[in-house]
Amino acid sequence: MPILREQTSIYPETLLDELAAEPSDRRWWVLYTKARQEKAVSRNLLGYEIPFYLPLVKKESVNRGRRRSSFIPLFAGYVFLYGSEEERARILTTNRISRVLPVDNPELFLHDLRQFRQLIATDAPLTVESRLVPGDQVRVRHGSFAGLEGTVLKRRGKTRLLVCVNFLQQGASVEVDDFLLEPI
C-alpha cells in the first residue's frame, strides 16, 4: 500500500523563526478541533494562507502483516494558529473547530513551539505526556537534543526529558542519558 507523503505541518516555513517576531496585528491562538480534524483544519488554513503550526510525528504500525507509516498530530485535537481576529473568524466557518483559546504569553508559547519543532526534527521516538507535575528543570548540553530545556522524569528505571507546552499542560518526553543533562 502506498504511503502518503507528509503534509505541510507549518505555514510559512519561517513562522516560528522570523514571521512571529515581526510586528503585526496577528496573535497566537490555540484551536481545539473536533475529533480527528487536525489535518483537515491545517489544509483549510493552508488554503486560506493563514499561518499555523501542527506538530506531526511519524507513527509506524503493523496491520495484517503489513508495515504502515503515517504522520499523526503530536497533540491530538490541537492546531496552533498565528492570525488576526478576521482570520480566526474565517477558520471558524469550516465547522471543524470546537474551541478557540487565546494565548496570553506569546513569547513563552513561541519558545515552547520552537523546542517541539527541534525535538520532532531529531526523529527520536516521542511519548505524549499529559497532566504535568513539576520536577527538576534541566538543559541538554550535548547531542542531537542540545539546547532543549525540560523536566526530568523517571519511567521504568530510565531517564526521560519532558518538553512541554505550558499553556496546554501537555508535553512529550524522550529517553535521554543522564550525563547529557545540566541543571538550570
- CA–CA dist 15, 25 (Å, integer): 15
In a 10 Å sphere around its CB, with 0-12 CB exposed, 13-18 middle and 19+ buried, how is residue 56 labelled? buried
* % of the chain residues with pLDDT over 90: 57
Q: What CATH number should be reported for the domain whose range is 124-184?
A: 2.30.30.30
Residue 22 makes CB contacts below 8 A (sequence gap 6+) with none
- pTM for the full predicted model: 0.87
Among 1-5, 147-151, 153-157, name the one with the lowest average pLDDT.
1-5
97 or 155, which is more confident = 97
Asked whether the predicted pLDDT for residue 101 surpasses 80, the reply is: yes
Domain locations in the chain? 1-103, 124-184
pLDDT in tens, 41-78: 999 999 999 999 999 998 888 888 898 888 999 999 99
Residue 72 makes CB contacts below 8 A (sequence gap 6+) with 56, 57, 59
pLDDT in tens, 113-150: 999 999 999 989 888 887 665 578 889 988 889 999 99
**Could you say which of 1.10.10, 2.60.120, 3.30.70, 2.30.29 is the CATH number of the domain covering 1-103?**
3.30.70
